[in-house]
Structure 1
Amino acid sequence: MSETALLLAGAGLLAGTMNALAGGGSFVTLPALIAAGVPSVAANATSTVALYPGGLASAWVYRGGLGQVAGVPVRPMLAVTLAGGLVGALLLLWTPSSAFDAILPWLLLTATLALAFGPRVAPWLQRRARLGAGPILVLQFGLGVYGGYFGGAVGLMMMAAWSLLAGADLKALNPARTLMVSAANTVAVVCFAIAGAVRWREALIMGAAAVVGGYLGAHLGRRLDPRLVRAATIALSVAMTAVFFVRAAR
Structure 2
Amino acid sequence: MEAHPILFVAGLLAGAMNAAAGGGSFVTIPAMVFVGLPSVVANASSTVALLPGTLASAWAWRRDFTSFEGIPLRTLVLISLGGGLVGAVLLLVTPQRAFDDILPWLLLAGTLAFAFGRRIGEALRRRVRIGPGVLLGAQVLLSVYAGYFGGGVGIMMMAVWSLLGEVDIKAMSAGRTLLVSAANAVAVLCFALAGPVRWPETLVMLVAAVIGGYFGAVLARRVPAPWLRGFVVAYSTAMTVAFFWRAWA
Aligned to 2:125: 126
Aligned pairs for 1:86-105 (under 5 A) are 86-105=85-104
| TM-score using structure 1 length | 0.97
CA distance in structure 1 between the partners assigned to 2:142 and 2:68 by the alignment: 14
The root-mean-square deviation of aligned C-alpha atoms, in Å, is 1.1
Secondary structure of the 1:11 match is helix
- Letter aligned with residue 183 of structure 1: A
2:179 is aligned with 1:180 = yes
- Counterpart contact for 1:163–1:169, Cα < 8 Å: no
Aligned to 1:207: 206
Aligned pairs for 1:209-224 (under 5 A) are 209-224=208-223
- Letter aligned with residue 38 of structure 2: P
CA distance in structure 2 between the partners assigned to 1:200 and 1:69 by the alignment: 38
- Letter aligned with residue 38 of structure 1: L
Aligned pairs for 1:159-174 (under 5 A) are 159-174=158-173
Percent identity of equivalent pairs: 58
* Deviation string, structure 1 residues 112-138 (Cα, Å, up to 9, x no partner): 111111122122111111122111111
- Counterpart contact for 1:21–1:229, Cα < 8 Å: yes
Aligned to 1:233: 232
CA distance in structure 2 between the partners assigned to 1:237 and 1:164 by the alignment: 26
- Counterpart contact for 2:118–2:158, Cα < 8 Å: no
CA distance in structure 1 between the partners assigned to 2:159 and 2:138 by the alignment: 12
* Deviation string, structure 1 residues 164-211 (Cα, Å, up to 9, x no partner): 344423232111111000000011000000100111111100000000
Count of matched residue positions in the alignment of Structure 1 and Structure 2: 249
Aligned pairs for 1:54-203 (under 5 A) are 54-203=53-202
Secondary structure of the 2:155 match is helix
* Deviation string, structure 1 residues 124-172 (Cα, Å, up to 9, x no partner): 1111111221111111010000000001111111111111344423232
> Is there any run of 5+ residues in structure 2 with no aligned partner, and where?
none
2:5 is aligned with 1:6 = yes
CA distance in structure 2 between the partners assigned to 1:215 and 1:165 by the alignment: 33
| TM-score using structure 2 length | 0.97
- Letter aligned with residue 94 of structure 1: V
- Counterpart contact for 2:88–2:187, Cα < 8 Å: yes
Aligned to 1:243: 242
* Deviation string, structure 1 residues 22-79 (Cα, Å, up to 9, x no partner): 1000000001101111100010000000000000011111111110135422011111
CA distance in structure 2 between the partners assigned to 1:63 and 1:104 by the alignment: 33
CA distance in structure 2 between the partners assigned to 1:48 and 1:143 by the alignment: 16
- Counterpart contact for 1:81–1:140, Cα < 8 Å: yes
CA distance in structure 1 between the partners assigned to 2:245 and 2:94 by the alignment: 21
- Letter aligned with residue 249 of structure 1: W
- Letter aligned with residue 47 of structure 1: S
- After TM superposition, what 4+ stretches of structure 1 lie above 4 angstroms from structure 2? none
- Counterpart contact for 1:70–1:167, Cα < 8 Å: no
